Chains A and B, each alone.
Chain A
Amino acid sequence: EAGVAQSPRYKIIEKRQSVAFWCNPISGHATLYWYQQILGQGPKLLIQFQNNGVVDDSQLPKDRFSAERLKGVDSTLKIQPAKLEDSAVYLCASSPDTSGNTIYFGEGSWLTVV
């Protein structure tokens, strides 16, 4: 089966510009996660969707980050305006449901803000 797809893989932008990342989860997976991983740290959960509803967005910096999941499938994560400290890998992951099955990760979108 196809894995979690993310694009773009790499992006370099100037501070105060905007950027959007796209994620296509594994077909049929109800739960979708966006994580931010800063170099040398573990992934930090930004937002969790179940179908097209938000389950948890407590660590999403809502003044500059937004995310949506249309029709309970694909998702986009947007940053506007970007700051230097947003330089990180943005990882999308999906899971079949919320009963604790294995979570599958995409290869990530690498963002450098200069």
Chain B
Amino acid sequence: KQEVTQIPAALSVPEGENLVLNCSFTDSAIYNLQWFRQDPGKGLTSLLLIQSSQREQTSGRLNASLDKSSGRSTLYIAASQPGDSATYLCAPASGTYKYIFGTGTRLKVLA
């Protein structure tokens, strides 16, 4: 059974810092892994999708890496901004393309 852990659970940083959010998962037999953003009262927005054969994926100030064999993924946020404040969730897809979520990292970027 896939279990996903995200560290840290919460993070508060001043604007401009580079951030590292960590995700670990127990079942390495995944098809892909997605990082999502969730704003309060909203649904989830996909940020990055990394296929199992890829090592990393980039979109703007976001970079996600995947080490499938060790069951780890990392989301890097460069030059953080107050608008980045949200909860970040990772979800590996395994089995029948089920996406299993971690509990998320609540990020607050202070102006």
* Interface residues of A, Cβ cutoff 8 Å to B: 4, 31, 33, 35, 40-45, 48, 55-56, 91, 93, 95, 98-108
**B66 smallest CB distance to A (angstroms):** 13
Q: Mark B22-50, 1 if CB is under 8 A from A, else 0.
A: 00000000011010100001111110010
Q: How far is the CA of A48 from the CA of B43 in the complex (A)?
A: 18
**B42 smallest CB distance to A (angstroms):** 6
Docked-complex contact B101 and A42, CB < 8 angstroms: yes
Looking at chain B's contact residues, is the secondary structure mostly helix, strand, loop, or mixed? strand
Q: Mark B68-111, 1 if CB is under 8 A from A, else 0.
A: 00000000000000000000010101011111111110000000
A-B CB contact pairs (8 Å), 15 listed: A31-B97, A33-B99, A35-B101, A41-B103, A42-B89, A42-B101, A43-B44, A45-B98, A56-B95, A56-B98, A103-B46, A105-B36, A105-B44, A105-B45, A106-B43
Docked-complex contact A100 and B51, CB < 8 angstroms: yes
Q: How far is the CA of A3 from the CA of B103 in the complex (A)?
A: 25
Size of the B side of the interface (Cβ < 8 Å), in residues, is 27
Closest B residue to A45 by CB, please name it: B98
* A41-B103, A42-B102, A103-B34 known; A91 vs B96 contact (CB < 8 Å): no
* A43-B101, A100-B32, A107-B42 known; A56 vs B51 contact (CB < 8 Å): no
Q: How far is the CA of A98 from the CA of B95 in the complex (A)?
A: 10
Closest A residue to B106 by CB, please name it: A40
Q: How far is the CA of A40 from the CA of B91 in the complex (A)?
A: 16
Asked if B21 CB lies within 8 Å of chain A CBs, one says: no
Q: How far is the CA of A31 from the CA of B4 in the complex (A)?
A: 22
Q: How far is the CA of A88 from the CA of B105 in the complex (A)?
A: 19
Residues of B close to A56: CB separation below 8 A: 95-96, 98
Docked-complex contact A91 and B32, CB < 8 angstroms: no
Closest B residue to A55 by CB, please name it: B96
Ordered nearest first, which 5 A-B pairs have the shortest CB separation?
A42-B101, A105-B43, A105-B44, A107-B43, A100-B31
